[in-house]
Structures are given as C-alpha cells and as structure tokens.
C-alpha cells in the first residue's frame, strides 16, 4: 500500500540547499555592516504572551485582528507566534532594564515571523526578517545613520531599482489636529469606505491612508497631508534628517501619503520599494517609536528601527540573475584503494583550510566520476591512480576554461588555494 507524501503547510516553505547560500550571503553582509555601526545581535523567543503584540501593535490593526497565530496553551494562557520583531525586542529591553547600558543601545535580530495571510508571491505565513532597533537617542542623527546603514546593506547585496521614501507622521502633540482633519475629510465619505476603514474611522483614521482597497485609495485622493499639521519640533526633526541624508549621499523621495500599518510609530517613517515585485513591492520599512518602551513598563525611551523582508529580497536577487550556485573547489577522482586513501588525506588537508572538496568513489569508473564533477560544477579536478602515487605527480584541470597542468601531489593544497 502506497503512503501519502507529507507536504509543507500552506504558506510555509522549505529553504533548500540551492538557495541557502544566498540567504547566508545576505545574513553575513548584514552582520558585517551592522557591526561597523555598533549593532549587537539579540535573539528573542518565537512564542510570546499575546499581550506583547496587542499592546504594541494595536488591537485594531489587521495583524492583531486577522493575522496572528494565537492560541491558548496548556497553562490556559493566551500566547502568539511573533508577527514582527520590534515588540519582542522592546519587551526584552524593558524586562531586562537594558537602559542601564551605554546609550544609544543598538540591537539587531534575524529570524522567522508568522502571520496568517493569503499566501502570494513575496508573502508567506512563515516569513523571515532582518531587523534593527536603536534605543535612547532623540535626535535625527540616529535616524539618518539607521537609514544610511539600510541603504548601504541593500547596495552591498546588489539590489537595484529600489526607491527610498520618507515621511514624518508627527508626535502626540501634533497628531490630534491631523486626526481631526482626517475625520472631517472622510466624514462625508465614511459610508463608501471598505468595512475595515469604516471601523478605522473611529479607532485610528490615519490607517485609512494605508488601506490597499482600490475604493479607499480613490476616496482618499485630496486628503489632508500630515506635513501641513506637524508641530515645530517635528518639522525641525524632519528637516535636519533630510539634511543629514543629503550629506550621507542617500537618495530618497518624500511621500506625504505614507503611513505605517502599526500604531506605535512617531515622527520619522520610511519604506524601501522595488518596481520588480508587483503589488507586494516593499522590501524594507521602519521608523521611529518614542513611546513604546513606556508601554512595556520601561522608562521613557526614544527608539528607531527597521525590518527587511528576506523572501522579497531573495526574489529580487534571483530575478536579477546575479545569483550563483555554490560548487566544490576540487573534485578528486580516484582509481583503486590506495588512490582513494591518498585522496582522502588530501581532501582532509584542504577541508581543514575551509575548502569544499569532493572525493570520488573508487568503485566507479573515471568517466563516471568526471561526469559527477561536471554536474557539481567543481572548479578543479585531479585524478589519482597507482601511477600518480608512484611518481608523486598529478595532473590538474580547471573545468571553467580547460586550463591544466602537473603538480607534485603534496603541493595540491597550494595551487588550489592560490589559483
């Protein structure tokens, strides 16, 4: 009786060896660049008390209302799988009193997030983010450094045709006036809004500006702009930020209609989009959140951060055609037991030096072993048999251009490392 194959759940995916090198390349670039700006890694649990997210993200957001994986555990506690990284990092910051460390405290994280959404290109139910959070600095300079760091990372990994967009959504001092202006503008249109936005009208009208419904996009044309309602402090902060980004050579545009889908943002917000992703075109987004640490019982602490969507970046890099499949540095084809033992010793010597070496099977023909070397796209091939062991010389071949030559068997490591 045949057994049914088990498959991944809808919206989940395996990351196979053919792709993992690209993931590792991005992660390595992020670690290196973040380190140069003084960011240190933090790792938080995937599972948190549900209150961590309802308190920070907002109970009236789509994430909390529709998308979180929430359930009651065996201790009768409501727990949720993290839908984003900031809330967990802020919870950790407040819980462990990290404000006692030198300020600004700069942290970064990498890992999976979970949202129950309709799966589509660039959007999965388990997805991965790289994010940063910087705590303890109120000024625009940290905003500029964080945005410049993101720009540097995206350039380093080879992303092209991307656009940085900035906006300021004000603070608790200037936001109420803008909220009133939106209520007045949408008041005569309320009945035409989508069901979600009719609810948002009373709870958080700013989020109507973030709705992806075609009807709501049309209805918000001509809506008041937050830039006309910023207080002097927010206007000054945004002006200085733009000046610093100009000094740092970061290219950006101002998008007065941009808001963030999470309730905790204040002042600076930003987003990076690509023209090569279709409807889900954001590859990174972030902003400032100066009151969130207080919501978790910590002291008043300004903060700013961003998150990068790994799956979308991977998709873009694949479309660019710049990705390459990893391959062995050397394939050792062997003839006979003695040759296999000699090849095993050479392979181990090179592996200790970090080289990827594959050793052929002495029971297979040389022709078969060479075909395998070709399928693996090995850079070099050598053949070892009784004659080579006796003479101490082997012939090497570089498969990419068929260059070849002879070398002493005990010098193979040298040529492989230097060629």
* 258 and 132 together in one domain: yes
pLDDT in the model for residue 280 = 62
Q: Residue 74's domain is classified under what CATH number?
A: 3.30.930.10
Res. 65: pLDDT tops 70: no
Residues 92/133, Cβ–Cβ less than 8 Å:
no
Q: How many residues does the chain have?
A: 419
Q: Is the pLDDT of residue 276 over 80?
A: no
380 lies in some domain: yes
- Contact between residue 69 and residue 114 where contact means Cβ atoms under 8 Å apart: yes
Query: Is 9 inside a domain boundary?
Result: no
Maximum CA extent, the chain: 93
pLDDT > 90: what percent of the chain? 58
Per-residue confidence (pLDDT) for residue 72, from 0 to 100: 95
- Which pLDDT band holds residue 55 (cuts at 50, 70, 90)? confident
Q: In this structure, are 278 and 314 located in the same domain?
A: yes
Comparison of pLDDT for 262 and 382, the residue scoring more:
382
Neighbours of 286 (CB within 10 A): 25
- pLDDT band at residue 62 using 50, 70 and 90 as cut-offs: low
| Chain position carrying tokens 């957001």 | 61
pTM (two decimals): 0.86
Domain holding 240, by residue range, is 17-174+230-320
Of the candidates 376, 335, 383, the residue with the CA atom closest to the CA atom of residue 356? 376
Q: Hey, what are 348's tokens?
A: 């181990």
* Ramachandran class of 362: left when φ > 0, alpha when ψ lies in -120 to 50, beta otherwise: alpha
Between 57-61, 131-135, 286-290, 300-304, the lowest mean confidence (pLDDT) is in: 57-61
Judge whether 191 lies within some domain.
no
Assigned token pair, 129: 């983010």
Q: What confidence tens digit (pLDDT) does each residue in 163-202 have?
A: 999 999 998 888 888 889 989 999 888 889 998 888 888 8
Contacts of 138 (CB under 8 A, 6+ apart): 290, 302
255 and 122 both lie in a single domain:
yes
CA 247 distance to own-chain centroid: 26
Given pLDDT bands bounded at 50, 70 and 90, which one contains residue 348?
very high
Closest by alpha carbon to 123, among 21, 10, 257? 10
**Which residue, of 300, 320, 340, is where some domain finishes?**
320
Task: Report the pLDDT value the prediction gives residue 299, as an integer from 0 to 100.
Answer: 93
**What pLDDT is recorded for position 262?**
62
Q: What is the pLDDT of residue 261?
A: 59
pLDDT tens for each residue of 391-416? 988 888 989 888 888 888 888 877 66
69 and 104 within one domain: yes
DSSP-based three-state secondary structure for 309: strand
What confidence score (pLDDT) does residue 307 get?
96
- Residues 130 and 107 grouped into a single domain: yes
**Residue 153 sits in the same domain as residue 262:** yes
Q: How many domains does the chain have?
A: 2
Name which of 57-66, 110-119, 181-190, 344-353 the model is least confident about: 57-66
């Amino acid at each position: 009786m045949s057994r049914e194959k088990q498959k991944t759940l809808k919206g989940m995916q395996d990351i196979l060896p053919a792709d993992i090198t690209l993931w590792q390349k991005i992660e390595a670039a992020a670690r290196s660049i973040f380190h140069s700006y003084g960011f240190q890694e933090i790792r938080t649990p995937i599972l948190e008390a549900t209150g961590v997210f309802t308190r920070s993200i907002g109970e009236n957001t789509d994430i909390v209302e529709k998308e979180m994986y929430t359930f009651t555990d065996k201790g009768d506690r409501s727990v949720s799988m993290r839908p984003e990284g900031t809330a967990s990092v802020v919870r950790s910051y407040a819980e462990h009193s990290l404000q006692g460390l030198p300020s600004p405290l700069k942290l970064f994280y990498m890992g999976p997030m979970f949202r129950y959404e309709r799966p589509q290109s660039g959007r999965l139910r388990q997805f991965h983010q790289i994010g940063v959070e910087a705590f303890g600095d109120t000024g625009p300079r940290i905003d500029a450094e964080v945005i410049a760091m993101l720009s540097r990372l995206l350039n380093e990994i080879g992303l092209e045709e991307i656009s940085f967009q900035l906006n300021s959504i004000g603070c608790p001092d200037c936001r109420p006036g803008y909220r009133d202006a939106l209520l007045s503008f949408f008041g005569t249109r309320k009945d035409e809004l989508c069901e979600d936005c009719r609810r948002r009208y009373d709870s958080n009208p700013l989020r109507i500006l973030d709705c992806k419904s075609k009807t709501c996009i049309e209805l918000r044309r001509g809506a008041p702009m937050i830039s006309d309602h910023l207080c002097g402090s927010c206007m000054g902060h945004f002006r200085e930020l733009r000046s610093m980004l100009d000094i740092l050579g970061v290219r950006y545009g101002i998008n007065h209609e941009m808001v963030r889908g999470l309730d905790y943002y204040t002042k600076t917000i930003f987003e990076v989009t690509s023209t090569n992703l279709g409807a889900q075109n954001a590859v990174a987004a972030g902003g400032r959140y100066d009151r969130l640490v207080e919501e978790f019982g910590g002291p008043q602490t300004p903060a700013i951060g961003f998150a990068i969507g790994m799956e979308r970046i991977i998709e873009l890099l694949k479309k660019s055609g710049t990705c390459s499949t990893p391959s062995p540095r050397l394939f050792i084809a062997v003839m006979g037991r003695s040759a296999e033992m000699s090849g095993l010793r050479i392979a181990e010597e090179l592996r200790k030096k970090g080289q990827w070496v594959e050793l052929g099977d002495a029971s297979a023909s040389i022709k078969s072993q060479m075909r395998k070397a070709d399928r693996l796209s090995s850079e070099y091939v050598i053949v070892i048999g009784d004659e080579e062991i006796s003479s101490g010389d082997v012939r090497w071949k570089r498969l990419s251009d068929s260059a070849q030559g002879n070398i002493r068997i005990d010098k193979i490591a040298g040529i492989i490392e230097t060629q």
